[in-house]
Amino acid sequence: MEALFVTLQKILPKRFLSDCVGALTRIQAGALTHTVIRAFMRFYPVELREAEHTVVTDYPSFNAFFTRALGPGARPQPEGADEIACSADGVVSALGRIEQDSLLQAKGVDYATVDLFAGDSALADYFAEGSYQTIYLAPHNYHRVHMPLSGKACALRYIPGALFSVNAVTTRRLPGLFCQNERVAVVFQHQRGYFALIMVGAMNVGSIQLTLPGEGGFRNRLQASQQPLQTYPLDGPVLNRGDEFGRFNMGSTVIFLASRDLLRLDENLDHGSHVQVGMRIGKLIDGAT
């Protein structure tokens, strides 16, 4: 059944279906929209009490509900200035050291950093022998992504691609899944190294939107000024730990990369760990302030 599920994904018009879902989620249909949201909340364990708007009727569309903001104080950041904060709500699907340019996708399945950056070896080299964490965002999760530590955006690479599901079945069954799907990667410069946030698109993802200052609300649909497989240099302001980085209009996966000797991930994190924005996931190595 798992093999059949993946085979069907290869056949289905994934982009067309995803575009249709994205359009439907933006319809403002009043009472009908609110009925759909309530039905979704009965099926999934959405915690609306922590959101900025806690009443269903405050959301004009399903997408507004799906990309809801958090209320003040809902995700406090770690107390220590040298602590690393989790960038997204979800489940850790993989984490650890980047061994010989290789990251774990699932048990027995790995992929190369250079493939994740679609052949840009200069970006991939920043993270040789570094660390990584992959978070899967389920439909009920909070779908905004935040900065794990402070840094200045220095490069953006947008890679068009497929829109396979990123659930556990497809992750196990489809080698190189994250290197096949559409994604946008932003590399940040820290005082002692580099880190990157990579937002991976998936089936039914209407769009990936970045909220980087000066990027004009970048979305993962090619515009006339954008060329695929091109790395764009950035000279953005320094973003602080906890600042919003981007959001998924529908859900997917976030990959966090860190260069060698920048940070150490906490040992209590493991495959299957449930994490939230602001939760401590590691600590800067001594001197990497």
- Active-site amino acid positions: 89, 146, 252
Q: What is the phi/psi pair of residue 30, to 5°?
A: 60, -120
Q: Give the angle 174-179-183 at the CA atoms, nearest 5°.
A: 120
Q: Exposed, middle or buried: residue 237 (CB in 10 Å: 0-12, 13-18, 19+)?
A: exposed
Q: How far is CA 108 from CA 11, 94, 202, in A?
A: 25, 12, 22
Residue 104 C-beta-side C-alpha neighbours within 13 Å: 16
Which token pair is 48? 């609306």
Give Cα separations from 47 to 30, 41, 118, 119, 232 (angstroms): 22, 9, 36, 40, 37
